[in-house]
A and B are shown apart, each in its own frame.
Chain A
Amino acid sequence: MTLETVSDIFAFVCKNADFTNSILFAETEVPEIRPEERDAIGSVERHLRESYVGLLNACRDDMYARADDELKATMGRNWNRDDSIWERGRVELPLLIESSYVEIAYAWIGEEETRLGQLSLVSEIWVQKRRRGALCDVESRLVNPVVITPDKKLRVIADITEGARFQELARSVVAPLWPFAIDVRSALLRQGKGPTRQGPS
């Protein structure tokens, strides 16, 4: 069965950063937890993987649906398998060869400086440093919720909450960013750089 909404368990995992990082996704065994807790934690791995990959697949589908034929072809050549998405925690759309891409990934976003925060869905447009001229026009037209980060990325963030539909979450991070992605691509094309077979390294 293909998952389509955020379950209570997936939402719990997104909200409890320390638990998720230090126990659920611990790279080494955590000797302090009891056997029955270990069993219970092990029993949701498949569900979490399906949720995690399913949401990113929904994001990629949303981008694909918006893309023109040329971008569709580029995406098609860079189509990651579920295993890769699980390992990398992201999907991406290369806009132009080695110079810009849209990436949608999981990130821990928190209000407190020293805490990991909430696992959130983050979409970003990244542009190579020497080609950031393409961002100049875009910057002045940014609209909420698109923000520009100190390291010059355009970013949209969405909380992963119980009951949210994957499609809606995907739309919420792709739609506000999409016009800027197209503008950045056009500006880069005017600089004379063609589409690519490669994704970001």
Chain B
Amino acid sequence: MDARQFVAELVTLSQRREPEAARHEKARRQFVERLLALSKPPPTVEREKEDDLELFRDRVMPHVESIMRVVVGAQALRRRELDWRTRAAIDALGATSDLFELLGLERDEVTYTRAIAAFLNAREPCRYPGLSSDCGGRFESLLRRKNPNLGDLALNRAYSEAERTLGREGRVDIALESDAAVVFIEAKIGAEERANQLDDYSRELTPSRLGGRQGVLVFLTARKDQVSQSAVPHIHICFEELLLAWLPLVLGEQRHGDLRHYLKAIAVHLAGVAARGPFELWPISTQRACLELLEKEGLDP
């Protein structure tokens, strides 16, 4: 029954006085019967449900292995059609062990951000000479794709620090400083953004504090849909994008083992595009997620 009609009839009935109501007894009875009919489930539902279960029992359950063979074969073909760089990226993820899970750190935000700070620190004491410049350059390219108006940030020559205290404004996860820019990165893996968190940090990026350098605020999240409610200018990136930006640095046999382990953790635990062991042993759904990401977004150049 149309809702508008339902309401109209209800109003009409409530307005009728007793003598008139007798006149409309038939209409009233019909109305009540329609209400009763509405309150009952459709008579065929149970029967249809029974039939549907049989369909599944007949067509799927006995044939699940052959169905899976077709799907697995399709994944293998998709992988073969990728270019060599992308295949090498999958190999790199597959050949790397998942240290974060072993250590129980697979969702530990502090560990993830400290690692980023280490990989981005291109000044003394620099743990990864050469690699840090590359990581910084690629990180800057990622930011510029999000905001083409950014000037040169010189992040390939930046000093980086994890968990920097900003006076009364709080403690930002990563602070990057170069001759050209100051970049604050606030990362979120499981938690939600604290009220006014980005606003607080942005006060430390005012021109008077930057000495002529650019100030950039970055909101880095595990979930793509976790956007900040803050109105202050900032760039939102997600760990999946960082993965695609840095994966090209670990292609080839045993290159940059620490970064490989880190990217494996991101791929497995934050992006859901890899699993333990080589690609062939990943669950089909993970294989598909990985292929879809690489086919759609592609590795950074």
Asked if A143 is at the interface (CB within 8 A of a chain B CB), the reply is: no
**Interface stretch among A28-36, A87-95, A167-175?**
A28-36
Closest to A44 in B: B56
**Interface stretch among A16-24, A55-63, A75-83, A130-138?**
A16-24
Q: What 1/0 flags go to A157-201 for Cβ under 8 Å of B?
A: 000000000000000000000000000000000000000000001
Please judge, given known A-B contacts A18-B68, A37-B60, whether A43 and B283 are in contact too, CB under 8 Å.
no
Asked if A113 is at the interface (CB within 8 A of a chain B CB), the reply is: yes
Please report the total number of A residues contacting B with Cβ < 8 Å.
35
Once bound together, how far apart are the Cα atoms of A17 and B64, in whole Å?
11
Q: What 1/0 flags go to B43-70 for Cβ under 8 Å of A?
A: 0001001001101111111011001101
B-side contacts of A1, CB under 8 Å: 46
B277 touches A113 (CB 8 A): yes
Once bound together, how far apart are the Cα atoms of A36 and B63, in whole Å?
12
Q: How far is the CB of A178 from chain B (nearest CB, A)?
A: 25
Asked if A116 is at the interface (CB within 8 A of a chain B CB), the reply is: yes
A-side contacts of B33, CB under 8 Å: none
B71 touches A114 (CB 8 A): no
Once bound together, how far apart are the Cα atoms of A83 and B124, in whole Å?
53
Range, interface on chain B: 20 to 34
Main secondary structure of the interface of A (DSSP, over half): loop
Contact partner of B71 among A32, A113, A201, CB < 8 A?
A32
B276 touches A43 (CB 8 A): no
Asked if B153 is at the interface (CB within 8 A of a chain A CB), the reply is: no
Asked if A69 is at the interface (CB within 8 A of a chain B CB), the reply is: no
Once bound together, how far apart are the Cα atoms of A9 and B64, in whole Å?
12
- Among A26, A31, A37, which residue has the most Cβ atoms of chain B within 10 A? A37
Interface residues of B in 235-255 (CB under 8 A from A): none
Once bound together, how far apart are the Cα atoms of A142 and B288, in whole Å?
41
Query: Interface of A with B (CB < 8 Å)?
Result: 1, 7-9, 12, 16-19, 21-23, 25-26, 28, 30-33, 36-37, 39-41, 43-44, 46-47, 113-116, 150-151, 201
Query: Interface of B with A (CB < 8 Å)?
Result: 46, 49, 52-53, 55-61, 63-64, 67-68, 70-71, 74, 104, 190-192, 275-277, 281-285, 287-288, 292
A-B contact pairs, 9 of them (CB 8 A): A21-B283, A21-B284, A22-B288, A23-B67, A33-B70, A37-B59, A41-B60, A114-B275, A114-B277
